Structure 1
């Protein structure tokens, strides 16, 4: 019988998700991971459509439970906040996954909110990476709904790094470390009053660069990928490695 902790990841539709293979590298303990992508290959990724995926999320979660997983981690920021008019509405989506499985469930954007609160910050700079204007404004609005003071918000397009029609597919579904680093540094430089830099977009991977960047900008970075890893480790009592940055000490 295998007694290793088993974590189930719900991945966004039609996207090659690094999280199931990355997570075992960020904790000291030996763990097993399993993946259940949302089976929506022609998904249009409009916020209105994302907001209707609760049944599919629950089905993936139930499948992961049947595989023996002990916790459900949902990858992808907007699935909690898309079209939500309150934090409570977003929390309800997370609670619905828990109700469907009787397992703890964690959604990416809510893990980010929880991490910011654990850090005790209020003023934030929001880096929306490859988001278009609708997604950028939607995520910034959600951060305001959660009580944070958003002192700066920008995307790659706003920063002049990419054109207004850019999509994550144009980066091969994952931004380069150099592009992500430069974008975060831009946000930090544009918002000296921000107590933390928030990086949304699961295609912006920060694990390999977060420690160096936090040292450079002298502030915590709460990113979609690493904040979810932090939340999973905290929920399961696992020990994070220092490579995950400041959150490893929270």
Structure 2
């Protein structure tokens, strides 16, 4: 149960407190990107799941899924208002369905009085809230079993999959081994090129979905602002895009009852209009 003292706003450091967790061995950009578009009064704290030996295998996510509850428990004790889980594959690993994840998240909130939003589940929820029925999937860097599992999860959520492929399928990289060696970091022009390819393969898709959030690099080597990248590509290809982390941010903002500021893709912009 969440400590009683956090019911007193005067005891909280920030009016709105967000906890993030990401897969083991990942210094994730999500808290930083989130705070770039968060209004004043929102604070974020991160806590990695700890696994001694980790190789990003789906089986390891299944074996360590229970550690998500430990994160929620810790964040509840620290006074978080909501927890966001980064890492799309944790939702579908082990054959889990949207119904399974919804039940798990509901149990976390009932037990610790803190809503938990998971990236994979947020993709399903965002697509449905946008009224999408058919989608095309940009698997970006995702390994084949990651992409297949996430695509199955999206289909289990009632979405019609018109296309699914990653950087290798798009002709941007030669092999999956080359993709893996990049450690999630890719040239900035991959963003537009990959989405253009996906849009061409499925012109009738209501929405394009990015399964992960690659760390695209500017010409000077610094990271691109991901929410700005999504917005700019939407404008160029004329299709709405839902990326896993942006869908997660949207769920967090909705839970907090605040709207994002500054640059944001269409999904977040629609939330801002609703909040206004």
Whether TM exceeds 0.5 here: the answer is: yes
Which of the five TM-score ranges fits, normalised by the shorter chain? over 0.9
- Alignment of 1:138 with 2:149, yes or no, is yes
Q: TM-score, normalised by structure 1?
A: 0.92
* Residue-by-residue CA offset, 1:84-127 (whole Å, 9 max, x unaligned): 25321222332343344221110001111111111101110001
Q: Secondary structure at the match of 2:94?
A: coil
Partner of 2:230: 210
Distance across 2 between alignment mates of 1:104 and 1:160: 40
For structure 2, which runs of at least 5 residues remain unmatched after alignment?
A: 1-10, 217-225, 272-276
Measured after TM superposition, the shift of residue 136 of structure 1 is: 1.4
The within-5 A match list for 1:73-88 is 73-88=84-99
Point out 4+ residue stretches in structure 1 off by more than 6 angstroms: none
Q: TM-score, normalised by structure 2?
A: 0.84
Label 1:11 to 1:218 Cα distance change in 2 as closer, same or farther (>3 A). Answer: same
Partner of 1:46: 57
Measured after TM superposition, the shift of residue 168 of structure 1 is: 5.8
Distance across 2 between alignment mates of 1:186 and 1:11: 29
For structure 1, which runs of at least 5 residues remain unmatched after alignment?
A: none
Deviates more, 1:212-221 or 1:234-243: 234-243
Label 1:86 to 1:225 Cα distance change in 2 as closer, same or farther (>3 A). Answer: closer
Residue of 183, 192, 215 corresponding to 2:194:
183
- Alignment of 1:147 with 2:158, yes or no, is yes
- Alignment of 1:245 with 2:256, yes or no, is no
Check the 8 A contact 2:49/2:71 in 1, yes or no: yes
Check the 8 A contact 1:80/1:93 in 2, yes or no: no
Check the 8 A contact 1:20/1:34 in 2, yes or no: yes
Partner of 2:69: 58
- Alignment of 1:17 with 2:28, yes or no, is yes
Distance across 1 between alignment mates of 2:185 and 2:71: 23
Measured after TM superposition, the shift of residue 229 of structure 1 is: 0.8
Deviates more, 1:99-108 or 1:197-206: 197-206
Q: Which has the larger radius of gyration?
A: 2
Distance across 2 between alignment mates of 1:168 and 1:11: 20
Distance across 2 between alignment mates of 1:175 and 1:6: 31
Distance across 1 between alignment mates of 2:73 and 2:228: 32
Measured after TM superposition, the shift of residue 48 of structure 1 is: 2.1
Deviates more, 1:176-185 or 1:68-77: 176-185
Distance across 1 between alignment mates of 2:123 and 2:24: 21
Measured after TM superposition, the shift of residue 213 of structure 1 is: 0.7
Partner of 1:95: 106
Label 1:243 to 1:227 Cα distance change in 2 as closer, same or farther (>3 A). Answer: same
Label 1:67 to 1:168 Cα distance change in 2 as closer, same or farther (>3 A). Answer: farther
Distance across 2 between alignment mates of 1:161 and 1:96: 42
How many residues align structurally? 250
Distance across 1 between alignment mates of 2:235 and 2:68: 37
Partner of 1:164: 175
Give the CA RMSD over aligned residues: 1.9
